Amino acid sequence: MNFVIIFFGWIFSLCLHEFSHALVAYYGGDTTVKEKGYLTFNPLKYTHPFLSIILPLLILMMGGIGLPGGAVYIETWRIRNRYWLTAMSLAGPAANGVVAIVLAILLRVLPISTANIWPGLSFLLVLQVWAILFNLIPIPPLDGYGVISPFLNPAIQMQMDRIRGYAIWILILALWYIPAVGGFFWLIVSLSSLIWGVNMNVALQGRDFLLGFFKGLF
């Protein structure tokens, strides 16, 4: 049951993240997102189903970390102004925040008789915190860069765009293979999760359930 909660809960949060980007873009001026089918919860409608769904799930299976999905394709030139562009970028992490709030409430109000599913709910909440913090790192193509990009000097934007294709991979490899980097980020995630009321020992049990399930398959 904990595996089902984490696995399908994470898929739902990925879809909600992408949907939120598209919804704000729609009201911000890019009505083509509706024609492209982005205003749905169907993962197959997204521009990059591999980056948006498959890759995050693979990384989740391998190490139990939440890698946010790739963004839907927005025709940014249609967006009314830079404030809407910033709001569009913030919408994804905000969606993860909404899921985190719901999970935090559930963990507080569910009766003790449901304690067997608390590990799954707790780890799913930790994944939402991870997604929020990771996505708000201000490097392209993450949402954190999208938030500040409309207000940057064009020369700086050009420099940042040059590293867009590989900056994310450098960051992922650093988190994965450099203990100091990965350890520091995980510490920030853990401390932030505590603020949300997560019992990290219980959450780690949820991660062990998830990884144990996949190890049993392979």
Dihedral of CA 172/213/17/111: which sign? negative
In this prediction, residue 193 carries a pLDDT of 95
- Tell me which residues are annotated as active site: 18
Whole-model pTM over 0.85 = yes
| 30-49 mean pLDDT | 79
Q: What is the per-residue pLDDT across 126-159, written as a single tens digit (0 to 9) for each? A: 999 999 999 999 999 899 999 999 999 999 999 9
Could you tell me if 82 and 152 are in contact, meaning their C-beta atoms sit under 8 angstroms apart? no
Query: Burial of 39 by CB count in 10 Å (0-12 exposed, 13-18 middle, 19+ buried)?
Result: middle
CA gap 94, 52 in Å, rounded = 17
In this prediction, residue 47 carries a pLDDT of 54
Q: What is the per-residue pLDDT across 151-208, written as a single tens digit (0 to 9) for each? A: 999 999 999 989 888 898 898 888 888 989 988 998 999 999 999 999 999 998 988 8
Could you tell me if 176 and 134 are in contact, meaning their C-beta atoms sit under 8 angstroms apart? no
In this prediction, residue 209 carries a pLDDT of 79
